[in-house]
Amino acid sequence: MGNCLVAQSGGPTAVINASLAGVIRANQLNPLYQRVLGGIHGIEGVLAGSLYDLTEVPGDELEILKQTPSSALGTCRYKLKRGQDADFTRLLEVMDEHDVDTFFYIGGNDSMDTVDALSEWAAAAGSSKRFIGIPKTVDNDLVPPDHCPGFPSAAKLANLVCHATKLDYDAYTRPEVFVLETMGRDAGWLAASCCLSGDVDLLVLPEISFQRDEFLACVQQKMDDQGSCYIVVSEGARYADGTYLSAGESANDGFAHAVLGGAALTLKQMIVDAGIAPRGVVQDLSRAARSSNFAQSKVDVTEAYELGLTAHMRSADPAFTAQVVGVKRGRTNAGAYNAEYFAGPAAEFANYVKAFPEDWIRPGYLGVTEEALDYFRPLVAGEPAIIYGSDGMPKTVKPYNLR
Amino acid sequence: MGNCLVAQSGGPTAVINASLAGVIRANQLNPLYQRVLGGIHGIEGVLAGSLYDLTEVPGDELEILKQTPSSALGTCRYKLKRGQDADFTRLLEVMDEHDVDTFFYIGGNDSMDTVDALSEWAAAAGSSKRFIGIPKTVDNDLVPPDHCPGFPSAAKLANLVCHATKLDYDAYTRPEVFVLETMGRDAGWLAASCCLSGDVDLLVLPEISFQRDEFLACVQQKMDDQGSCYIVVSEGARYADGTYLSAGESANDGFAHAVLGGAALTLKQMIVDAGIAPRGVVQDLSRAARSSNFAQSKVDVTEAYELGLTAHMRSADPAFTAQVVGVKRGRTNAGAYNAEYFAGPAAEFANYVKAFPEDWIRPGYLGVTEEALDYFRPLVAGEPAIIYGSDGMPKTVKPYNLR
């Protein structure tokens, strides 16, 4: 009986640790592997042989791990690329050294591509080592699943902040606009979800080419009609030529993705410069949106945990490799939302971006359709029972990468 | 039996509506006044005769009002100034028209000054009308009370976001700094409270003149020692000459206060420009900090509500005017925190700013002393039982200014 390895990659989420807890717990319920080893800082730490034994994490710590935001093993933005044979060889060496035959990788599009590339490489090298993906991304932009763990909690937090800041904005009489910015580089799911709150006047998504004059006319209309305008913008909003609204402030992260920020500030300034409102307030959700521990969606925690369970359980089949697990939307007998689990080829999860559907977008920046709201509603419903410390704060585990 | 008037002013908080609920409930328990009339948009709406009858708001709505953030009556930034006789005369007219003999004003320093000025003016005019203040401010800078309603919840949210974003920051290996910005124009209470989380490496407060070179040396030291540096800065942080760190971006609000924002961005840029870290992440709590409904402190909600109760109850004494109610820190028999209520002259609450004590500040931007943490701890402990809707969101009342 060999060991398994589990690691986390990409941007943290509110529930990525619940998937980790699922893998650990599944192996306690059915010890398919002798040890469950955590790779510290994703593939970067694994290449360096930096592992942490998670096999016997006790049940009460697992419950707290499920409600701990961010990536408890640490994360990385290092991407294994096809052709980097030295990295591939080194990875298999580390796995051999630690008697690891199965690697669970929790991450987004890029990490699912890593799962695919590693599986291919291992097969070509005649190795029996297996690579299995567990998805996460607050961007919700993976193609096969109905939605991605991390997104529902991010949507819940975005809605909470949206409603609270709308109430704050509504308390004033002075003319000003409010602009809330959410994450969402290539897809507007998170920004669009804010419409659930019923508070969004205008919505600016990456899926629709931004047109300055049309947008400003819409803002003017709202100010004329109601004396206020609450706007939500996705960080990835862009002009027809692909230039981001936030273009002035872009930098670069390790994956050669543009690092965005400032779309809300740009819109506010545009509105003030056009003389439509003398001032505006900007709220950028930034990092707080993706890894909060005070707005977890119960559905999200449960699904993230069960995706960890199902990935481990399906790996009992020795042929289970190059696969990623995911959630489909099913129905209960009473017609309510019901999560169903499936697995599919990693290649289908990798390198595609699922845009927010154009036919769910109302014209004139007027938000989303009822169909879109029906999609979002069950994802944010319900509250997990949080375990608090005596200090009144939700308990969190000390990250394994810092132990 | 006459009526009473209650209104809200200044920046909204997470619990200012709990004080409103307290006044309404107290009058249901002991009808000292025939009607409880809400002034819409503070003194501005009252001058316009815009009132809303709150006398019979049912108990279940009051419970939801207590957990509704922002100012349910609407707010204003209009300040009644001594010498503006037309306003004073008009206000007494409106009160006469609606048979109001007592005015409860819930607000910060400026509103408490309004209470004082109105009381003086009424006395001089031979009027028996009474003016009573109920304090609120997330800035926590009123002098007589131990702390101000609104601050503990803002501190709780700031700590939650601080800890969550610290976990997110800690998940990475790449060298960067993190800078969290909180509200706090003249006093650093809110920024200082973040030290409760145990996550703050460096703290920049308005109380200590900012010294660029010394600060950068401290950041360099942290980066050298631990490869990371988590910084919290108060929006009001300033140089010895009084220039705000955020000076480039200041505007003006209706009270001739500088509108701040951008201190965190300034610090990040300063650190990057100095070559200490190649990049940094900025999180500005902005409006989300002050009127959230997902991080109320139980102590805060209870005290805000009871301040509403005590203000109403004390007003049974016809001589009770020009007074503001407040919270003192007492001890239970077991030595635990215990809120005690008092009332004092409005003049003592108005126009003074209680700075964060310098002897609670550790040198070298190293946060606060244990004594400071002991002050903060009981304020954020405990969680109120939130009433959720079927959509999974905390229920809120529809603002009275929008009905």
pLDDT 10s digits, B13-66: 999 999 999 999 999 999 999 999 999 999 999 999 999 999 999 999 999 999
The reported pTM is: 0.94
Could you give the ipTM of this predicted complex? 0.93
Say yes or no for a CB contact (<8 Å) between B396 and A163: yes
Q: What six digits make up the tokens of B316?
A: 């049974």
Residues B155 and B285 in one domain: yes
Question: For position A232, which CATH number holds?
Answer: 3.40.50.460
Minimal C-alpha gap between A318 and chain B (Å): 32
Q: Is residue A124 part of a domain?
A: yes
Which pLDDT score, from 0 to 100, does residue A253 have? 41
Report whether pLDDT(B261) > 70: no
Say yes or no for a CB contact (<8 Å) between B287 and A283: yes
Residues B184 and B83 in one domain: no
**Inter-residue contact A346 to A112 (CB < 8 Å):** yes
Residues A77 and A130 in one domain: yes
Which pLDDT score, from 0 to 100, does residue B77 have? 83
Cα separation, A178 vs A220, whole angstroms: 13
The arithmetic mean of pLDDT across residues A202-229, rounded, is 97
pLDDT 10s digits, A289-346: 898 988 899 999 999 999 999 999 999 999 999 999 999 999 999 999 999 999 999 9
Q: Is residue B278 part of a domain?
A: yes
- Looking at the structure of chain A, the number of domains it has is 2
- Chain A residues whose CB is inside 8 A of the B402 CB are 170
Residues B26 and B102 in one domain: yes
Which pLDDT score, from 0 to 100, does residue B356 have? 97
Nearest CB partner across the interface for A41, out of B173, B377, B391: B173
B252, closest residue in chain A (CA to CA): A279
Nearest CB partner across the interface for A294, out of B44, B294, B388: B294
Share of chain B above pLDDT 90, in %: 87
Question: For position A323, which CATH number holds?
Answer: 3.40.50.450
Q: Is residue B222 part of a domain?
A: yes
- The domain in which residue A318 lies consists of 3-137+294-350
Contacts 24+ apart (CB under 8 A), B26-29: B26/B308, B26/B309, B26/B312, B26/B313, B27/B55, B27/B312, B28/B55, B28/B56
Minimal C-alpha gap between B199 and chain A (Å): 12
- Chain B residues whose CB is inside 8 A of the A298 CB are 392
Which residues of B form the catalytic set? 139
Last residue of some domain: B289, B305, B328?
Answer: B289
Gyration radius from chain A CA atoms: 22
Which pLDDT score, from 0 to 100, does residue B382 have? 86
Q: Is residue B183 part of a domain?
A: yes
Residues B166 and B38 in one domain: no
Residues A107 and A9 in one domain: yes
Given the residues A110, A113, A116, A139, select the one marked as catalytic: A139
**Inter-residue contact B100 to B5 (CB < 8 Å):** yes
Last residue of some domain: B351, B374, B395?
Answer: B351
Q: Is residue A377 part of a domain?
A: no
Residues B90 and B161 in one domain: no
The arithmetic mean of pLDDT across residues B248-260, rounded, is 43
Cα separation, B254 vs B41, whole angstroms: 14
Report whether pLDDT(A256) > 60: no
Q: Is residue B382 part of a domain?
A: no
Return mean pLDDT, chain B: 93
pLDDT 10s digits, A20-69: 999 999 999 999 999 999 999 999 999 999 999 999 999 999 999 999 99
Q: Is residue B395 part of a domain?
A: no
Which run of H or of E encompasses B349? helix B346-349
Report whether pLDDT(B251) > 60: no
Minimal C-alpha gap between B360 and chain A (Å): 20
Last residue of some domain: B351, B370, B397?
Answer: B351
Note if A141 is an active site residue.
Answer: no
A397, closest residue in chain B (CA to CA): B167
Residues A236 and A270 in one domain: yes
Share of chain A above pLDDT 70, in %: 97
Say yes or no for a CB contact (<8 Å) between B70 and A282: no
Cα separation, A70 vs A56, whole angstroms: 21
Report whether pLDDT(A258) > 60: no
Residues B163 and B263 in one domain: yes
Which pLDDT score, from 0 to 100, does residue B286 have? 86
**Inter-residue contact A381 to B390 (CB < 8 Å):** yes
Match 């699943």 to its residue by tokens.
A145
Which pLDDT score, from 0 to 100, does residue A249 have? 42
Q: How would you label B357-386 residue by residue, b for 16+ Cβ within 10 Å and e otherwise?
A: eeebbeeebebbeeebbebbebbbbbbbee
Minimal C-alpha gap between B76 and chain A (Å): 6
